[in-house]
Structure 1
Amino acid sequence: MYYDIVESGIRVKELRSVRNMTRQQLADEIGLSLGALRKIETGTNGAKIDTLVSIADVFHVPLDYLVCGCQQKAESASLLAGLNEKEVQFIRNIVLSVIDNMKLIKN
């Protein structure tokens, strides 16, 4: 695995699209210029690690998904991409509750 800046940019653009977010909105949220974000999304330039961390945080996806496209968590990440922090926490609490109940059933 390696950091393919073109594929990484495509993943950023897809996550932004799922959330119905403009480039300008994402650029403002992560403190980046519109031009810099455009270059990341088109694969002209790679993103700095702190930029990737900020993007991952905005979309609630693992950093390894943005960097190398690891699919292990990609499906759940894309499900959470359009949700706000409270909604993500609500779903996280539901999942934790289900896990706890499954443990009780196993015992």
Structure 2
Amino acid sequence: MQRMGMMIRLKPEKISEYKALHAAVWPGVLARISASNIRNYTIFLREPENILFGTWEYHGSDFEADMAAIAADPVTQDWWKLTDPCQVPLESRAPGEWWAMMEEVFHHD
């Protein structure tokens, strides 16, 4: 199991829309996340900075293949057409990233 954390900004005028979308995430999106070995997925919002922090546990053995399956999923692609316009990627993200991945520096169970 691998824990992962990531950040992105949220457009202030899109906060209500983003919260509403995530109050009723489409079943197909949730099914694809689970099928790609992601568990305990949580997104937090920090206002007034409007920073989203996402964290999940990856329980699979081929992260790249599982992420490719999510990206290729038509339902997820339609979901991203709604959520992506709400977000502003961090300037410091790595090439090819939308959400900026973070380094885990501490964990305690």
Kindly name which structure, 1 or 2, has the bigger radius of gyration based on alpha carbons. 1
Higher helix share: 1
Both structures adopt the same fold (TM-score exceeding 0.5): no
Normalised to the residue count of structure 1, the TM-score between the two structures is: 0.30
Normalised to the residue count of structure 2, the TM-score between the two structures is: 0.29
